[in-house]
Amino acid sequence: MRQHPVTLLLAFDDQVRRDQAQSAAFLHRRDRRYALNCQQASHQPSVAGWLQHIQPHRTPGPDDDRRLRTWRRVSRLLLPAGAVLGILTMLGLLFYDGSQQINVTVIIGFIALQGLLALGTTIQALIGWRPWGRLLSPRRDADDRPTALDELQPQLAACTAQQTALVFTLFAWLTLMGLVVVQDLAFGWSTTLRASAETYAGLVQSLATPWQHLWPAAYPSLALVEQTQFYRLGETAINEPARYGDWWPFVSMLWLTYAVLPRLLLTLFARTHLRWQARRLLRRHPGRSALWHRFDTPIVESVAEADDSHREAVSQPGNALHTLPPGHALIRWAGTATHNEPAIRGLLAQPDAPIVSAGGTLSLADDHDVIRQLAVGRDPVILLTRAWEPPTGELADFLHDARRAWSRERLIALLPVGGEAPLEPASSVQLAQWQRFAERQQDANLWVCRLPDHTEGVRRHG
């Protein structure tokens, strides 16, 4: 399911804020691994794919963010309020007690006011003005950095306002049509300004130009304008009472064209603008540039200023080399000893114990499958690596994911070998970097083990 731009922006912003508590090295290893997986799969990294990579159990939907659900709930609650207000407004505009005509000028003025409000709402969203920001975020301190949701509030508010106004104008028009059917409405026109019938006819005919040929009856004639003018303090001679009802097609089309239709178009525009603004904020998010930098920058493992090749192996009790335990499963990391399976099978306690591959050219999904495959049981697992290749962030991430899926008491035997065909033990200089790597993992059940002597000897003579 394609993720909504607003939901994607909020999820990315939340993850960037959570990542502030992590170390730079951890973030680099995690994100570089995703970029390498994308490179192997021949597709470009993306924010949505990255979020799925670091949260594999997350199933995003179009409105899964609870903050967006709150906005949508408020919008839905305002819809019936807009409908009721539209009905009451039209009842007020068309109030008729028989003593005076319904003034078309008032209806035109009210529609003009609606247009100004719609234009103001649109401009407010375009310039990002938030005069009501404190009302929507009352608990935020003035010096707090605004969240992505704060940046989208003008556009979210515009969507809510425009769709509420659309319901308002639509139900007002339905009320107008209902009153036309059930009542004998008498329309006329009047104004305090000294406007002649010819001037007023030019105004209403200009407004009726869009539907002049579509519905000629809704195009007021000069004769209709002259016959329906009334004065507040004077008595108007009514020669043809039926003519006062001939205004309703014009009023109906006027409301549809200049009240309902603009609100419909502006509602669609507000939603499009909301998506555009969310994509724009995502492109300009400060965390995105840092993320892409981690994607493009290779991982360099360095734990000291001196080269690891010139350091002796550590001899602390917690990092001492261990004897290889009887393994009940073996993982070949990055294709180590791929063509020497008889030798590596001799490292296992049982001849039918599983031998699987992970890392290297394999994808992250393949690594997760290996972790799930070996999740059952608590017997030791051997992880076979090349001693001359330095430990990578990919391996650290794999061990981290494995430890989360397996028991923390389960022994993981890290076995660096100095040769693959035949299997040869690693030198003390090579093992030094692996012991320091194991120390950095802070896992008491991650052992760096030596290759058994009998294995080497048997393989040489075989």
Residue 219 sits in the same domain as residue 328: no
pLDDT at 65 over 50: yes
Q: Give the percent of the chain with pLDDT over 90.
A: 35
Q: How confident is the model at residue 412 (pLDDT cuts 50, 70, 90)?
A: very high
How confident is the model over 274-315, as pLDDT tens digits?
999 999 999 988 888 888 888 887 765 444 433 443 333 333
Closest CA to 432 of 391, 393, 397: 391
Average pLDDT over residues 104-112: 94
pLDDT at 441 over 90: no
3-state helix, strand, coil in the chain (%, to 5): 55, 10, 35
Residue 132 sits in the same domain as residue 252: yes
- The better pLDDT of the pair 61, 337 is held by 337
Average pLDDT over residues 6-24: 84
Closest CA to 7 of 50, 58, 55, 61: 61
Assign residue 337 a region (left: φ > 0; alpha: ψ between -120 and 50; beta: otherwise): left
Residue 218 sits in the same domain as residue 319: no
pLDDT at 67 over 50: yes
How confident is the model over 174-198, as pLDDT tens digits?
999 999 999 888 898 888 887 788 9
Q: Give the range among 166-175, 213-222, 308-317, 400-409 with minimum mean pLDDT.
A: 308-317
Residue 252 sits in the same domain as residue 341: no
Average pLDDT over residues 310-327: 57
- Asked if residue 17 lies in contact with residue 74, where contact means CB atoms within 8 angstroms, the answer is no
Residue 250 sits in the same domain as residue 364: no
In angstroms, rounded to a whole number, what is the distance separating the alpha carbons of residues 320 and 322? 6
Alpha-carbon distances, residue 171 vs 74, 81, 326, 398 (angstroms): 20, 11, 78, 60
Residue burial 394-428, b: 16+ Cβ < 10 Å; e: rest? bbbbbbebbbeebeeebbbbbbbbbbbebbbbbee
CB atoms near residue 343 (< 10 Å): 19
In angstroms, rounded to a whole number, what is the distance separating the alpha carbons of residues 47 and 49? 5
Residue 170 lies in a domain: yes
Q: How confident is the model at residue 93 (pLDDT cuts 50, 70, 90)?
A: very high
Residue 44 lies in a domain: no
Average pLDDT over residues 394-399: 90
Q: How confident is the model at residue 316 (pLDDT cuts 50, 70, 90)?
A: very low
Residue 174 lies in a domain: yes
Helix 47-54 vs helix 286-296: crossing angle, to nearest 10: 80
Residue 232 sits in the same domain as residue 375: no
Largest alpha-carbon pair distance within the chain?
A: 126
Residue 99, pLDDT score: 67
Residue burial 435-458, b: 16+ Cβ < 10 Å; e: rest? bbbbbebeeeebbbbebbeebbee
Q: How confident is the model at residue 57 (pLDDT cuts 50, 70, 90)?
A: low
- The better pLDDT of the pair 97, 386 is held by 386
In angstroms, rounded to a whole number, what is the distance separating the alpha carbons of residues 385 and 27? 24
The CATH number linked to 439 is 3.40.50
Residue 20 lies in a domain: no
Residue 376 sits in the same domain as residue 451: yes
Residue 267, pLDDT score: 96
Residue 312 sits in the same domain as residue 266: no
Q: How confident is the model at residue 384 (pLDDT cuts 50, 70, 90)?
A: very high
How confident is the model over 259-270, as pLDDT tens digits?
999 999 999 999
Residue 29, pLDDT score: 82
Residue 316 sits in the same domain as residue 425: yes
Average pLDDT over residues 219-247: 75
DSSP-assigned letter for residue 358: E
Q: Could you tell me which residues come within 8 angstroms of residue 5 by beta carbon, excluding any fewer than 6 positions away?
A: 275, 278, 279, 282
pLDDT at 205 over 90: yes
Residue 112 lies in a domain: yes
Residue 251 lies in a domain: yes
Residue 59 lies in a domain: no
Average pLDDT over residues 328-356: 87
Residue 268 sits in the same domain as residue 333: no
Q: Give the range among 203-217, 376-390, 447-461 with minimum mean pLDDT.
A: 447-461
How confident is the model over 136-186, as pLDDT tens digits?
554 454 445 567 888 888 999 999 999 999 999 999 999 999 999 998 888
Residue 462, pLDDT score: 41
- Asked if residue 312 lies in contact with residue 333, where contact means CB atoms within 8 angstroms, the answer is no
Q: SS3 string of 50-68? A: HHHHHCCCCCCCCCCCHHH
Alpha-carbon distances, residue 136 vs 79, 140, 287 (angstroms): 19, 10, 25
Residue 158, pLDDT score: 92
In angstroms, rounded to a whole number, what is the distance separating the alpha carbons of residues 165 and 215? 26
Closest CA to 30 of 322, 219, 294, 245: 294
- What type of residue is 56? P
pTM here is: 0.62
Enclosing domain of residue 397: 308-461
How many domains, in total, are found in the chain? 2
Strands 412-420 and 446-450 turn out to be parallel
Q: How confident is the model at residue 460 (pLDDT cuts 50, 70, 90)?
A: very low
Residue 330 sits in the same domain as residue 186: no
Residue 262, pLDDT score: 96
pLDDT at 17 over 70: yes
Residue 125 sits in the same domain as residue 209: yes
Q: How confident is the model at residue 134 (pLDDT cuts 50, 70, 90)?
A: low
Residue 22 lies in a domain: no
Q: Across the chain, what does the average pLDDT equal?
A: 83
Residue 58, pLDDT score: 60
Closest CA to 319 of 450, 426, 448: 448
